[in-house]
Structure 1
Amino acid sequence: MQDDPQRESRSKVRWLVAGLMWAAIAINYIDRTVLSAAAPHIQGEFHLSAVEMGIVMSAFFWSYALLQLPAGMLADRFGQKKVLGFAVFWWSLATAATGFASGLKSLVALRVALGIGEAGAYPSNAGIAYRWFPKKERATVAGIFDSGSKLGGAIALPLIAYLLATFDWKITFAITGSLGLVWCVVWQFTFKDSPADHKRVNAAELAHIRDGQRSSRADTLKARASWKKLLAHRNIWAMCIGFFMINYNSYFFITWLPTYLVKERGMSLMEMGFMASLPLVISMFVEVLAGWASDRVYSSGKLSLTATRKLFLVIGLVMASSIGLAAFAQSAVMAVVLLCIAKSGTTVAASQVWALPADVAPRNMVSMVAGTQNMVSNMGGVVGPVVTGAIVGATGSFIPALVFSSVLIAIAILNYVFLLGKVEPIQFEDNPVEFDNHDQRNADVSA
């Protein structure tokens, strides 16, 4: 009876895996944020100009964005356990070693190293979601692991401020770097690339994981699709364009929002600190709820996978468009409420965005697709703060900048509704894919 999936009580190891994925992203954001809090101390000690400090801060984003695709390819080739484990180990060492920096050049080198390591996190997590979770739970796990970024962003500044006040900035980097090293030890002894190889995954959970996945015969096939053909597919373009627009808006909340609240809304520093954290904290819970809700809708059989993904993408992006309304709010409180709705909307969309790579990628290319999507999206994070600053500088107001962000959200909605086609594994003549019965019963809505 123990091996009968129908009678055996299902184990829940996959949710332990989801917890480790979440922790990796939370640590990821803590480690990338520590420099921002320590910047005044570092700038003073090394006598860096504002321009030089800006170079140090931007060094991370270039290596992080540009290495998303290579990191995804490595994860697909060598397995997510090795790549994610090495990535966290690498970036944790880079974080800890920042305390030994001696000036501008070493700071830039260490921030580049941090970006190299952190590039492996999201592509690996997308691949793990494909291997460890059935299709009807992927939005939930995507919402869980991506919510780690909001927690990391929300708690990083107060946590790091406390460490800086208690110790010096060098010890602070060592402490935050050690978090990832502890995670690596747990990861090494807990995770397996395949749930079938995990001793604590019983037959009932394994059957549940494989429900709605491609057939076991197809699982043995190597992906032979050309990555050039893959990148030319309309769904990949739609995923990249949409996520670029979403990230353009998301980065406002971790770059310009404090300045907006102080200069445009007249808040004190204490008020700003609390209000600026609200959108991140609230959106963390909204994202998990949205992922769970979309999986419930899909599991009910009332909507196809395509219709479910598009529905929640549009709902989230309509909410995100509230950023334009916030510009015209009569009170600071109403502006913050609208910004909380807007940020929560980007996370509703993100719960679907991070499920899409597992939904559409050919066999053994999930991490590569996720890396491609994240590479383009982070370019939105690179140019977003610059464009916002340029608009505010030219007009003397945040109103045009927030309205422009809302316009980009409208473009993202059109992109997902019309350019994104049927949500199913991309097929070429040389990589046929089998589908589950649920998909065969439900005719997907195609743009």
Structure 2
Amino acid sequence: MSIATKENKGDSYKWAVLGFLWVAFLLNQADRQVFNVVLPLIRDDLHLSDISVGWIATIFNLFYAVLVPVGGMAGDIFSRKWIVTLSLLFWSVATMLTGFASGFLALVILRSIATGGGEAFFGPSNYSLLAQYHDKTRAFAMSVHQTAYYIGVIVSGYVAGYIGQKWGWQSAFYVFGAIGVVWAVIMMFGLKDKPVSKQEAVAEGGTPSRTRIWDGFKVVFTTPTALVLTLGFGGLIFVLTGYLTWMPTY
């Protein structure tokens, strides 16, 4: 096989990677939103108070925030393909099991802790793997990938609402969780880590450097631009989480 042929195959596969990760990101956002969409049905069925619902959302984001740096460290050490795939599989199974929840505590364990913790490992390796394959086309690939966020929210809003009204809120979790499990299996066979070339290995010193989590926090809190962006993004999430959680109710 000629060098040109290998380059063409690699160039075409990077778009397949974008496809795999696009669907996975769509399911990530759809699974996150399905709870909010059927929340009115859950509240009535399980007799939850507004305070209880607020705690479920708060604990979800807390576990997500704490575990995201851990997920980033894991992505620098282990296979990003398997971290992305197993993360999708884990939160999808947790989503399915959420349909069996019978009260506040079960929702905290299955939704806030299991689903939130599983999703935390997805983001860092997902974006890193996409960036590895797309160097000259990175901005375009990232922009296409981001459309999965909005489409996932839209699809979840309509489909989960319809399923919830037609067959009950439990069925919405069963369906979205099952789709995620199927896509995780597909990714196990179709998604690949990008091979590291000899030049890249030499540039990195041959072996990956040890990741220190506090170095990242030090950069954020000592670099004005990074700190302002972090605070701005925090404000965005503050409003977005409140809106997405309570909008279907009110």
Same fold (TM over 0.5): yes
How much does 1:66 deviate? 1.3
Structure 2, gaps ≥5 residues long: none
Residue in structure 1 matched with residue 107 of structure 2 by the alignment: 107
3-state SS of 2:8 partner:
coil
Distance 2:245 2:42 in 1: 21
Cα distance change on mapping 1:62 and 1:227 into 2, 3 Å: closer
| Structure 1 residues 97 and 218: alpha-carbon distance in aligned structure 2, compared to 1, 3 A threshold | same
Counterpart CA distance in 2 for 1:144 and 1:71 is: 23
Task: Look at both structures and tell me which one has the larger radius of gyration over its CA atoms.
Answer: 1
Paired residue for 1:335? none
Q: 1:217 aligned to 194, 199, 202, which one?
A: 202
2:132·2:194 contact (CA, 8 Å) conserved in 1? yes
Post-superposition shift, 1:81?
1.4
What is the total number of aligned residue pairs between the two structures?
244
Aligned residue type for 1:139:
A
Alignment of structure 1 residues 175-214 onto 2, 5 Å: 175-195=175-195
Unpaired runs of at least 5, structure 1: 197-209, 261-268, 274-447
1:240 to partner: Cα distance: 5.3
Render the CA deviation track for 1:406-426: whole Å, top value 9, x for unaligned: xxxxxxxxxxxxxxxxxxxxx
Deviations 1:115-135 (A, max 9, x none): 00110121011220343222x
In structure 2, what is the Cα distance between the partners aligned to 1:223 and 1:154?
Answer: 41
Pick closer, same or farther for the CA change 1:100–1:143 going to 2, 3 Å: same
The corresponding residue for 1:30 is 30
- Contact 1:230 / 1:236 at 8 angstroms: preserved in 2? no
Distance 1:256 1:24 in 2: 23
**Is the alpha carbon distance of 1:53 and 1:230 closer, same or farther for their aligned partners in structure 2, counting shifts above 3 Å?**
closer
Correspondence for 1:125:
126
Q: Measure how far apart 1:60 and its partner are.
A: 1.4
Is 1:171–2:171 an aligned residue pair? yes
Q: Which amino acid is 1:63 matched to?
A: F
Contact 2:73–2:211, Cα closer than 8 Å, also in 1: no
The answer to whether the Cα contact below 8 Å between 2:69 and 2:213 also exists between their aligned partners in 1 is: no
- The 1:251/1:152 distance shift into structure 2, 3 A limit, reads farther
Deviation of 1:225 (Å)? 6.1
Please list the CA deviations of residues 219-256 of structure 1 after superposition, one character each: whole Å capped at 9, or x if unmatched: 43321464434543369843454144145236645644
- Matched residue SS, 1:76: helix
Within the alignment, does 1:249 sit opposite 2:249 as a pair? Answer: no
**Paired residues of 1:30 and 1:156 also in contact (CA < 8 A):** yes
Distance 1:73 1:165 in 2: 41
Go from structure 1 to structure 2 and tell me whether the alpha carbon gap of 1:232 and 1:183 turns closer, same or farther (over 3 Å shift).
same
- Identify if the C-alpha distance between structure 1 residues 132 and 235 changes in structure 2 by more than 3 Å, giving closer, same or farther: farther
Contact 1:24–1:121 (CA<8 Å) still a contact in 2? no
C-alpha contact 1:76 1:127 (8 A) present in aligned 2: no
Cα deviation for residue 174 of structure 1 reads 0.3
Residues in 2 aligned to 1:169 and 1:251: alpha-carbon distance in whole angstroms: 26
Partner of 2:20: 20
Q: Equivalent pairs: percent with the same residue?
A: 27
C-alpha displacement of 1:57: 2.6
Cα distance 1:98–1:189, how it changes in 2: closer, same or farther (>3 A)?
Answer: same
Partner of 1:159 in structure 2?
A: 159
Cα 1:8–1:125, aligned 2, differ >3 Å: closer, same or farther? closer
Offset of residue 44 of structure 1: 1.3
Mapped contact 1:64–1:116 kept (Cα < 8 A)? yes
Does the Cα contact within 8 Å between 2:90 and 2:118 map onto a contact in 1? yes
**1:244-301 Cα deviation digits (max 9, x unpaired):** 41452366456449999xxxxxxxx9xxx9xxxxxxxxxxxxxxxxxxxxxxxxxxxx
Secondary structure at the counterpart of residue 222 of structure 1: coil
Q: Quick one: which amino acid aligns to residue 4 of structure 1?
A: I
SS where residue 15 of structure 1 aligns?
A: helix
Aligned-residue Cα RMSD (Å) equals 3.0
Report the counterpart of residue 351 of structure 1 in structure 2.
Answer: none
Whole-angstrom distance in 2 between the partners of 1:156 and 1:38: 10
- Deviation of 1:216 after TM superposition, in Å, equals 4.3
Which of the pair is proportionally richer in helix?
A: 2
Q: Which moved more, 1:11-20 or 1:249-258?
A: 249-258
Q: How does 1:8-87 map to 2 (within 5 A)?
A: 10-11=8-9, 12-87=12-87
Where do 1:377-416 residues align within 5 Å? none
